[in-house]
Amino acid sequence: MDFRMQMIVVAVIGWWLVPVIPGHAAGEANLSRGKQVYEKYCLACHGPQGRGDGATQFDPPVADLTSSEVLMKPDSRLLRSIHDGRTNTVMDAWKTTLSDEAIRDVLAYILTFPR
Ligand code: HEC
CA 34 to centroid of ligand 1, rounded, Å: 15
d(CA 19, CA 62): 40
| Structural domains in the chain (count) | 1
Give the mutation target among 67, 86, 109 for probing the ligand 1 site: most ligand atoms within 8 A of CB: 86
Residues with CB under 6 A from ligand 1: 41-42, 44-46, 58, 60, 62-63, 65, 70, 73, 77-78, 81-82, 86, 89-91, 94, 106
The Cα-based distances of 30 to 33, 90, 102 in angstroms read: 5, 26, 8
Residue 70 resides in a domain: yes
User: What is the predicted pLDDT for the residue at 24?
Assistant: 42
Per residue in 36-83, pLDDT tens? Answer: 999 999 999 999 999 999 998 899 999 999 999 999 999 999 999 999
Q: Are 96 and 105 in contact (CB under 8 A)?
A: no
Q: Are 37 and 99 in contact (CB under 8 A)?
A: no
Write the burial class of residue 111 (CB in 10 Å: 0-12 exposed, 13-18 middle, 19+ buried): middle
- The CATH number linked to 89 is 1.10.760.10
Range of the domain at 56: 29-110
Closest residue by CA, ligand 1 atom 20: 63
